[in-house]
């Protein structure tokens, strides 16, 4: 049976002749101009090329650094663990010069060091010095925290598409500043718009905002606009912190319970690492402002820090006991060191480390750091 519709009845759109080469050229020029303008604006707001976003630092980069311990004869002698205060307190170049070896930065923002230290002690042959930063309360979380789960997942093995995405993102981030997480269009609208507040809309004064630069080997520095106390960007970070600081203090029995749980978890790891020649030093990181007020109100030191450090069987340093490691430094948003204070802390902490280690262990930290002769 013949078709009821003849091919001659099908309408076809006639595409007029155009200079398609010119059209593509105009399109490319507009894209280049838009990207260039966006990049100029980003750099004017101090978003720099080579600055990875925070999520990449806390997960993908962490996994890449952690894998270095799995390489035979890796030569790594000092590890840095903890949460974001250790990230923002460590200048790797300065510490390398003072310690005689380059530390491996394995601290993760919003995440306690428990699972990371456990994996290193139980799954590697590392026998050097581990410096663990202690941030009150966050340290006592023995779970994956905010980013630990994703970091460990990347370490275990990401999908091919995730790995390729990271390679592409890393290449572009090395050349463009506008790729920073804190410079996404909707982030800028949220933080800088004058839109009236509406029911059901995210509180623009309490959102997570850019806090630092994140470079190769996870070198992390405070973002300059946040260092200006009273500035818009500084106020954004303080408002974000206040979301958690508004909670009432934990009761004393809960504080004691946290200390005991931490001792039961960390003490065996310290003992196991020491048995093969390594050691751990716990460093209570400095804080200021509302964070310090909260720590004092909860009596964290007497109820939690002191019982923990006594039970760990490890060397401990409370930075709040040393003016040069706390009150003499700039902590613009109550929790993290400014760029200059990061340098100062990194220079000063090694002398205190040496002093405390001699007092507690009767030997120099360099005897632990020095790689053993494995040729016997």
Residue 169 lies in a domain: yes
Largest CA distance in the chain: 102
CB 343 within 8 A of CB 295: no
Does position 301 have pLDDT exceeding 50, yes or no?
A: yes
The conformation of residue 128, written as its DSSP 8-state character, comes to S
Question: Bigger pLDDT: 161 or 116?
Answer: 116
Instruction: Specify the pLDDT at position 6.
Output: 56
Stretch among 1-10, 26-35, 122-131 having the lowest mean pLDDT: 1-10
pLDDT band at 232 (very low <50, low <70, confident <90, very high): confident
Strands 279-284 and 129-134, by their bridges, are parallel
**Segments forming the whole domain that contains residue 131:** 52-191+204-369
At 307-327, the pLDDT tens digits run: 999 999 999 999 999 999 999
* HSE of 269, CA atoms in CB hemisphere, 13 A: 24
Mean pLDDT of 268-290: 97
Residues 238, 234: Cα–Cα separation, whole Å: 6
Instruction: Specify the pLDDT at position 198.
Output: 57
pLDDT band at 173 (very low <50, low <70, confident <90, very high): confident
pTM for this model (two decimals): 0.87
Does position 202 have pLDDT exceeding 70, yes or no?
A: no
Intra-chain end-to-end CA distance of the chain, in Å: 93
Q: What tokens were used for 349?
A: 């902490």
Residue 31 lies in a domain: no
Read out DSSP for 342-368? HHHHHHHHHHHHHHHHHHHHSS-HHHH
Residue 12 lies in a domain: no
Distances (CA, A) of 175 to 41, 260, 371: 15, 48, 38
Residue 199 lies in a domain: no
Residue 7 lies in a domain: no
* HSE of 81, CA atoms in CB hemisphere, 13 A: 24
Does position 208 have pLDDT exceeding 80, yes or no?
A: no
pLDDT band at 195 (very low <50, low <70, confident <90, very high): low
At 327-357, the pLDDT tens digits run: 999 999 999 999 999 999 999 999 999 999 9
Distances (CA, A) of 128 to 65, 95, 106: 16, 15, 14
At 66-108, the pLDDT tens digits run: 999 999 999 999 999 999 999 999 999 999 999 999 999 999 9
Helix spans in the chain (H):
20-44, 54-56, 62-66, 84-89, 92-99, 114-123, 148-156, 160-173, 185-192, 224-227, 232-245, 252-275, 289-298, 300, 306-312, 339-361, 365-369
Bridge partners (DSSP) of residue 280 are 130
Residues 166, 168: Cα–Cα separation, whole Å: 5
Does position 204 have pLDDT exceeding 60, yes or no?
A: no
Q: Which residues are CB-neighbours of 271 under 8 A, at least 6 positions away?
A: 313
Residue 19 lies in a domain: no
What's the distance, CA 346 to chain centroid? 17
Q: Which of 242, 222, 238 is nearest to 230 (CA)?
A: 238
Residue 29 lies in a domain: no
Stretch among 60-64, 156-160, 175-179, 182-186 having the lowest mean pLDDT: 182-186
Strands 212-214 and 220-222, by their bridges, are antiparallel
Instruction: Specify the pLDDT at position 376.
Output: 46
Residue 45 lies in a domain: no
Give how many domains the chain has, as a whole number. 1
At 103-145, the pLDDT tens digits run: 999 999 999 999 999 999 999 999 999 999 999 999 999 999 9
Does position 196 have pLDDT exceeding 70, yes or no?
A: no
Residues 81, 132: Cα–Cα separation, whole Å: 5
Q: Which of 348, 294, 364, 304 is nearest to 94 (CA)?
A: 348
């Amino acid at each position: 049976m013949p078709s009821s519709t003849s091919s001659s009845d099908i309408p076809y759109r006639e595409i007029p002749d155009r200079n398609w080469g010119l059209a593509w050229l105009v399109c490319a020029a507009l894209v280049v101009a838009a990207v260039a303008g966006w990049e100029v604006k980003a750099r004017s707001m101090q978003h720099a090329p080579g600055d990875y976003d925070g999520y990449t630092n806390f997960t993908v980069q962490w996994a890449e650094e952690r894998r270095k311990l799995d390489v035979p004869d890796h030569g790594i002698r000092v590890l840095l663990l903890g949460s974001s205060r250790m990230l923002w307190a460590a200048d790797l170049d300065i510490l390398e010069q003072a310690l005689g070896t380059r530390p491996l930065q394995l601290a993760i923002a919003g995440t306690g060091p428990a699972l990371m230290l456990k994996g290193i002690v139980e799954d590697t042959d590392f026998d050097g010095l581990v410096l663990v930063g202690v941030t009150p309360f966050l340290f006592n979380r023995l779970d994956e925290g905010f980013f630990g789960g994703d970091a460990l997942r990347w370490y275990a093995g990401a999908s091919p598409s995730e790995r390729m995405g990271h390679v592409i993102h890393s290449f572009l981030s090395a050349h463009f500043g506008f790729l920073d997480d804190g410079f996404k269009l909707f982030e800028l609208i949220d933080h800088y718009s004058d839109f009236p507040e509406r029911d059901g809309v995210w509180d623009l004064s309490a959102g997570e905002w850019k806090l630092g630069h994140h470079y190769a080997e996870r070198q992390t520095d405070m973002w300059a606009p946040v260092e200006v106390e009273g500035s818009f960007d500084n106020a954004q970070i303080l408002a974000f912190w206040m979301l958690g600081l508004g909670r009432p203090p934990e009761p004393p029995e809960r504080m004691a319970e946290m200390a005991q749980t931490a001792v039961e978890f960390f003490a065996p790891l310290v003992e196991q690492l020491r048995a093969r020649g390594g050691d751990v030093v716990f460093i209570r990181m400095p804080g200021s402002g509302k964070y310090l007020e909260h720590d004092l109100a909860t009596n964290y030191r007497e109820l939690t820090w002191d019982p923990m450090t006594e039970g760990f069987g490890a060397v401990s340093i409370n930075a709040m006991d040393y003016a040069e490691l706390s009150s003499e430094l700039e902590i613009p948003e109550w929790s993290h060191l400014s760029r200059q204070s990061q340098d100062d802390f990194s220079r000063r902490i090694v002398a205190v480390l040496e002093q405390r280690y001699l007092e507690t262990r009767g030997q120099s930290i360099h005897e632990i750091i020095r790689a053993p002769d494995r040729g016997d």
